[in-house]
Amino acid sequence: MAPKPSAIRKNNWVNIIFFAVTTLVGLIGTPLYIYKFGVTGSEIVLLVFFVVVTPLSITTGYHRLFAHATYKTNAVIRFLLLFFGGAAFEQSALQWSSQHRAHHRYVDTDLDPYSIKKGFFYAHMGWLIFWQHETDYDYVKDLAEDALIMHQHRYYLLWAIVAGIVTPLLLGALTGHLLGAFVLSICLRLTVVYHLTFFINSICHIFGRSTYDIYATAKDNWFIAFLTFGEGYHNFHHRFSGDYRNGVRWYQWDPSKWLIALLGKTGLAWDLRRVSNFRILEAQLAGENRRVTDWLARDDKNTEFLKLGEIVQAQYDSLGQDLVKWEKAARKYKLMSRRQVVDYSKRNLAEAREQFDYTHHDWKALLKQYLTAA
Ligand SMILES: [Zn+2]
Ligand SMILES: [Zn+2]
């Protein structure tokens, strides 16, 4: 069955009122509150905690774990990601992932829930407040098998309220700042985190570099990456969405990638999926080739351009061949070095066995001596 267009025009009053209240209280209430009561260290700590943990649970949890399955982790971490992800009030992980998978599959078409082709505001937040989306749960059949994800989906509002409202209020009350927790850790935090998340669908589909897919609307934007725990490297992400990294270079700001790698190092996450460096380099070279070829194609009557085009093509072809050769050599080396490890372990095992036999022989001789003496 052909999929239906993703949305019909309909004001979503629940979202409109929720956005309006949190934004107004967050932006107007914050300066008023600080003016009247000041702000204490514990209130700042609580605010920073929620400003960091809730979007980080969306990026490492909702996005890279649930929507893209780029790694695996245990039930405790999954629970924490669903809990604090829920606190961000960005729908259930199941619904979020389904819409996000549709975004990747049908990017820029009418089936993309937050298509940039419908304008900056639509992609940013318009799609959530002026449109009604039909979520196709066929995209997330794998996630529907997870009991925790399904619990969060069925009782989403309860999860979101407990994690995103009750928890900060409780912590605020315990430190004597109930109102401060409401204004700062709920309303201001939601306003800030919402727009930072929305920037990925709006700004990152317009402004930035297209290194890996030059025709994609998705761009690598280091500034937005800085604000969104690494999600701004959106050109790479759309090209290689199965990779747990978005900022693929070691120096690119991507705390979500570092957190997943840390979980991997400590054994709390496993099966971290990374695209081969050769595929990444290949995509980058293809992008460079397309860019220069398109530039030369501006004037197909210019003989100088035609000649240059031939040189570029020949150079690109031999670059491709050299890359294949390099990859083959690397694969062989990896196999060889692995075999050497096997040889080493085999030798190690034989030596240990030999040593044991030697000592065992002495032991037996010793026993014989004593037993005979006794
Ligand atoms: Zn995107
Ligand atoms: Zn994605």
**In sequence order, what are the residues at sequence separation of 6 or more whose Cβ sits closer than 8 angstroms to the Cβ of residue 201?**
103, 114, 116, 123, 124
Nearest ligand by distance to the CA of 68: 2
Structure-derived torsion over alpha carbons of residues 93, 229, 31, 128, reported in degrees to the nearest 10: -40
> Separation of 257 CA from ligand 2 center, angstroms?
13
Nearest-angstrom CA–CA distance, 279 and 174? 52
Q: Identify whether the C-beta of residue 6 lies closer than 8 Å to the C-beta of residue 113.
A: yes
Nearest ligand by distance to the CA of 108: 1
- For the record, the structure tokens of 302 come out as 């210019």
> Separation of 59 CA from ligand 2 center, angstroms?
9
Per-residue pLDDT of the chain (374 residues; tens, 9 = 90+): 445 556 888 999 999 999 999 999 999 999 999 999 999 999 999 999 999 999 999 999 999 999 999 999 999 999 999 999 999 999 999 999 999 999 999 999 999 999 999 999 999 999 999 988 889 999 999 999 999 999 999 999 999 999 999 999 999 999 999 999 999 999 999 999 999 999 999 999 999 999 999 999 999 999 999 999 999 999 999 999 999 999 999 999 999 999 999 999 999 999 999 999 999 999 999 998 998 888 888 887 888 888 888 888 888 888 889 888 888 888 887 777 777 666 666 777 778 778 878 777 777 776 676 556 55
> Separation of 227 CA from ligand 1 center, angstroms?
16
> Separation of 104 CA from ligand 1 center, angstroms?
7
End-to-end alpha carbon distance in the chain: 89
> Separation of 248 CA from ligand 1 center, angstroms?
16
Query: What angle (nearest 5°) sits at the alpha carbon of residue 203, between those of residues 200 and 205?
Result: 80
> Separation of 26 CA from ligand 2 center, angstroms?
28
Return the domain boundaries, the chain.
7-270, 277-373
